[in-house]
């Protein structure tokens, strides 16, 4: 016997209101809330290393680095990237960023497919003059970083490995790749 179930979609307003009171974070994709899972210690340590270095680099300028709990809005979808940089001042409290210049995701086994495909394609749809210039994917189980960089004619991919210096042109930032992995090199 077949069973039919009506699938309800959340409005942006209902999603934002619900998230302020929810004990579990959710991304919103095509009106459907998707619960977020926790991260590993390695994921967390790499994220902290990147956001700390970015915060230090950006201090005193117009850009701000955000970590994990700040949503990014892409049309009516909302995602929680590991690291986001925005250079647009927003007065008062706000709960999402609509115009990031840089987004970084630390890949895990459970999120890699979504981060590489769904989120990358969604983020690349941000097209305002101040929107996304670089999308960074940091591998947590080996020393490897990919930077998708917006060009006038489309996107390019640059890969960085252990002996390289990571360049994030959107914010004029460089750092030895191994600095981001320093705390996790000997973590089992």
Q: Could you report the per-residue pLDDT of 50-67, keeping only the tens digit for each?
A: 999 999 999 999 999 999
Say whether pLDDT at 147 is over 80. yes
**CB count, 10 Å around CB of 157?**
10
CA distance 160 to 18: 39
pLDDT (tens digit per residue) in 1-21: 788 777 789 999 999 999 999
Cα–Cα distance for residue pair 95/8, rounded to 1 Å: 24
Q: How sure is the predictor about 69, in pLDDT bands with cuts at 50, 70 and 90? A: confident
Higher pLDDT, 110 or 173: 173
| Residues 91-115, mean pLDDT to the nearest whole number | 89
Binned at pLDDT 50, 70 and 90, residue 128 comes out as low
More confident residue, 37 or 12: 12
Tell me the per-residue pLDDT of 169-178, one tens digit each, with 9 for 90 and over. 999 999 999 9
pLDDT band at 39 (very low <50, low <70, confident <90, very high): confident
Give percent of the chain with pLDDT exceeding 70.
95
**Using alpha carbons only, what angle is made at residue 113 by residues 49 and 123, rounded to the nearest 5 degrees?**
70
Q: Does 187 have pLDDT greater than 60?
A: no
The predicted pLDDT at position 16 comes to 93
Helix (H, G, I), strand (E, B) or coil at 170: helix
Residues 101-129, mean pLDDT to the nearest whole number: 89
- pTM exceeds 0.85, yes or no: yes
d(CA 108, CA 106): 7
Sign of CA dihedral 139, 144, 149, 154: negative
Rounded Cα–Cα distance for residues 178 and 163 (Å): 7
pLDDT at 15: 94
């Amino acid at each position: 016997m077949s069973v039919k179930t009506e699938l309800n979609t959340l409005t942006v307003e209902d999603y934002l209101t619900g998230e302020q009171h929810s004990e579990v974070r959710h991304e919103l994709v095509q009106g459907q809330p998707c619960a977020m899972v926790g991260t590993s210690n390695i994921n967390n340590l790499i994220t902290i290393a990147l956001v700390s270095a970015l915060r230090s680099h950006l201090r005193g300028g117009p850009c701000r680095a955000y970590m994990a709990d700040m949503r990014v809005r892409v049309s009516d979808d909302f995602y929680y990237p590991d690291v986001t940089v925005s250079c647009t001042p927003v007065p008062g409290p706000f709960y999402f960023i609509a115009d990031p210049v840089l987004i970084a995701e630390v890949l895990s086994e459970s999120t890699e497919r979504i981060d590489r495909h769904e989120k990358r394609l969604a983020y690349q749809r941000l097209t305002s003059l101040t929107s996304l210039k670089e999308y960074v994917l940091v591998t947590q189980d080996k020393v490897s970083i990919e930077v998708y960089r917006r060009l006038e004619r489309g996107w390019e991919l640059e890969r960085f490995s252990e002996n390289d210096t990571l360049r994030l042109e959107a914010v004029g930032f460089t750092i030895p790749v191994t600095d981001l992995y320093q705390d996790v090199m000997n973590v089992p």
